[in-house]
């Protein structure tokens, strides 16, 4: 593990560790002797993700499951949660916590048909809390599903020809892909690659169907070579996230993920190959400088026919090289820091069986969505709706997202696409159907845009359901933006695009560390304020102010907005300005995130 004090060294000056040559330990005794992390033992003993989940579902005395099964159920696309708003009251009355499950779907590329949308809508109203949530992972989540309804919910998802396998857990999770439908050929190539990677790297265990759909146990299921030929008994050291991007839009935030493919286009807009990125990731732990966010390195250029092999090779190198002793340092970003990009690339090329070219030039212009109607180069039309924090629900006195999109799904002839920014695209609308869609959008008060700051915002769920949340996020960010919009308007900046993202904890689900303004929960109504990331998501931010109360966020930012309005150069972005003006230090990458933090000078 590279010490954070080495952040100022160039890769050529760094001294890296020697990579391991053995496959991961899969036997219980050897795992104990090697002092592997607790989750490794759980996986080894699970029988390929079965554990005691089937038995636990039959225990009616509690809405929870065992701690070990709570780790395994993530591989099935679920997290055990409870309503934290009710904790104190229920504890006082000596009641069990108000347990329920969050269920995340696996939807490669975020594309669903109108028929699937209608089924997912019905599930939300029948078994969940009456909402669908579009996530920053380009898929849907359900919240509030109680244990007794889990199998019914999973059966309904299966009936939509969808599933939740590997949407969470130490596996290749939901694969995201560029959604820009104006670039038809490039989008189709990106979507196909995302789908192929998702299908190819899917766990092979039959546990999901056995447990949730009462499928039969596969004979010989204990044989690793039969059940998990790629993953083995212990799967990956930690989560693994894959992205496919198409310049000039970086709306999927390719630099924030373990593995990425950036389309290299010819003059006709066709994909000639893919730049491959490795080692991005957002999560960290407050106060522990050996954990940090990291932007991905652009490693090599792959021709289209080798892309799938490269994806598997990158994942299997991480399988074999990743840290299985210290879970907080187990992501691919730490593997790259430990062994170096050069050694990692050499191993990937060895496993694919050929050398690759160096990366090709490309340009990103931003990581936001394009709202309203966009015409594709194939004559079809695509409408991007702004959905606040991705929460698809009917707002009293406001937009009726759930009812409106249900009505649109009943008449829509194309498909729906979720974006990595939590929004919804009504895609592939024929020209003669635009007026019908527009009428429904107006009838249900759906939003095709928002103010500049709001349309560039993201928030994680946080309280009351996320067990990791230290502070509010989804419920608080809208009112904070109200305040900041007033501040921006007072300085003539109301229409200036600035990215702002908020999370309730430093795990970074809404990717706050690559937002020009990032707010990360420290405790109730307290946040760390980060500034200085790049507008296109290619550079990390830096800690500007620690433990800022909610009431002090606007006073901290207002003088910076004033300075930006007065002293910026033509076309200069806010994140670039605060660095050039000397208010915050520029972050290089990885360990450098924790170096030279805090305000570098007072705001005049």
The span from the first CA to the last CA of the chain, in angstroms, equals 40
> What pLDDT does 182 receive?
75
Pairing of strands 517-523, 500-503: parallel
| Active-site residue, selected from the candidate residues 338, 391, 505, 573 | 505
| Active-site residue, selected from the candidate residues 43, 74, 104, 391 | 104
Q: How far apart are CA 584 and CA 567, in angstroms?
A: 15
- Is 60 within 8 Å of 45 (Cβ atoms)? no
> What pLDDT does 429 receive?
96
> What pLDDT does 566 receive?
98
> What pLDDT does 9 receive?
57
> What pLDDT does 184 receive?
84
- Is 452 within 8 Å of 494 (Cβ atoms)? yes
- Is 256 within 8 Å of 487 (Cβ atoms)? no
233 noted as active-site residue: no
**Secondary-structure percent of the chain, ordered helix, strand, coil, rounded to 5:** 35, 20, 45
Known binder of ligand: residue 168?
A: no
> What pLDDT does 294 receive?
98
147 noted as active-site residue: no
Q: Over the stretch 471-493, which tens digit does the pLDDT of each residue have?
A: 999 999 999 999 999 999 999 99
Q: Which residues of the chain have pLDDT under 70?
A: 1-12, 216-226
Helix (H), strand (E), coil (C) string for 132-194: EEECCCCCEEEEEECHHHHHHHHHHHHHCCCECCCCCCCCECCCEECCCCCCHHHHHHHHHHH
| Active-site residue, selected from the candidate residues 43, 319, 417, 509 | 509
Fold annotation for 454-592:
Sulfite Reductase Hemoprotein; domain 1 (3.30.413)
| Active-site residue, selected from the candidate residues 147, 239, 294, 333 | 239
239 noted as active-site residue: yes
Domain ranges of the chain: 454-592
294 noted as active-site residue: no
- Percentage above 70 pLDDT, the chain: 96
- pTM of the complete model beyond 0.85: yes
460 noted as active-site residue: yes
Q: How far apart are CA 445 and CA 197, in angstroms?
A: 37
The first and second tokens of residue 423, run together, are 């929004």
> What pLDDT does 217 receive?
61
| Active-site residue, selected from the candidate residues 43, 345, 370, 466 | 466
> What pLDDT does 94 receive?
93
> What pLDDT does 4 receive?
39
> What pLDDT does 181 receive?
74
């Amino acid at each position: 593990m590279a010490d954070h004090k080495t952040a100022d060294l160039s890769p050529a000056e760094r001294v890296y560790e020697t990579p391991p040559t053995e496959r991961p330990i899969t036997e219980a005794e050897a795992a104990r002797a090697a002092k592997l992390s607790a989750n490794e033992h759980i996986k080894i003993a699970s029988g390929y993700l079965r554990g005691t989940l089937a038995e636990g579902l039959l225990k009616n005395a509690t809405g929870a499951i065992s701690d070990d099964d709570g780790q395994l159920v993530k591989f099935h696309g679920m997290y055990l949660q409870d309503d934290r708003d009710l904790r104190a009251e229920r504890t006082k009355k000596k009641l069990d916590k108000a347990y329920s499950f969050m269920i995340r779907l696996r939807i490669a590329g975020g594309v669903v048909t109108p028929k699937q949308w209608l089924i997912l809508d019905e599930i939300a109203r029948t078994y969940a809390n009456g909402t669908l949530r579009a996530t920053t992972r380009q898929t849907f989540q359900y919240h509030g599903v109680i244990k007794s309804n889990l199998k019914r919910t999973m059966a309904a998802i299966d009936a939509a020809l969808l599933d939740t396998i590997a949407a969470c857990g130490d596996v290749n999770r939901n694969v995201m892909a560029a959604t820009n439908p104006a670039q038809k050929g490039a989008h189709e190539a990106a979507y196909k690659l995302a789908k192929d990677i998702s299908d190819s790297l899917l766990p092979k265990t039959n546990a999901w169907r056995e447990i949730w759909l009462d499928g039969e146990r596969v004979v010989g299921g204990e044989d690793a070579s039969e059940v998990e030929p790629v993953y083995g008994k212990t799967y990956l050291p930690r989560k693994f996230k894959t992205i496919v991007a198409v310049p000039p839009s970086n709306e999927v935030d390719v630099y924030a993920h373990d593995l990425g493919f950036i389309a290299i286009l010819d003059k006709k807009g066709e994909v000639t190959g893919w730049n491959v990125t490795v080692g991005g990731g957002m999560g960290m732990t407050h106060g522990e400088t050996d954990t940090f966010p990291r932007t991905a390195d652009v490693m090599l250029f792959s021709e289209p026919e080798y892309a799938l092999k490269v994806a598997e090779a990158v994942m299997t190198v991480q399988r074999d090289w990743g840290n299985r002793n210290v879970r907080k340092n187990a992501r691919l970003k730490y593997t790259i820091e430990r062994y170096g990009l050069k050694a990692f690339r050499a191993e990937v090329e060895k496993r694919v069986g050929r050398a690759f070219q160096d990366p090709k030039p490309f340009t990103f212009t931003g990581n936001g969505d394009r709202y309203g109607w966009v015409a594709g180069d194939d004559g079809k039309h695509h409408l991007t709706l702004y959905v606040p924090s991705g929460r698809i629900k009917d707002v009293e006195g406001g937009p009726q997202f759930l009812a409106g999109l249900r009505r649109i799904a009943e008449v829509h002839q194309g498909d729906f696409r979720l974006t990595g920014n939590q929004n919804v695209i009504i895609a592939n609308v024929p020209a003669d159907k635009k007026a019908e869609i527009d009428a429904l959008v107006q009838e249900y008060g759906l939003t095709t845009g928002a103010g500049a700051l709001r349309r560039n915002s993201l928030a994680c769920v946080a309280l009351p359901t996320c067990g990791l949340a230290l502070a509010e996020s989804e419920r608080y960010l809208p009112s904070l933006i109200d305040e900041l919009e007033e501040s921006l308007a007072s300085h003539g900046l109301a229409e200036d695009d600035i990215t702002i993202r908020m999370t309730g904890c430093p795990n970074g689900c809404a990717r706050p560390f690559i937002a020009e303004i990032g707010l990360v929960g420290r405790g109730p109504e307290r946040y760390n304020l980060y500034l200085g990331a790049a507008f296109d998501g290619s550079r990390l931010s830096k800690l500007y102010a620690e433990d800022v109360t909610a009431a002090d966020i606007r006073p901290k930012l207002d003088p910076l907005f004033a300075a930006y309005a007065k002293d910026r150069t033509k076309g200069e972005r806010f994140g670039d300005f605060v660095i050039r003006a000397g208010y915050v230090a520029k972050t290089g990458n990885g360990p450098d995130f924790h170096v030279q933090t805090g305000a570098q000078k007072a705001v005049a």
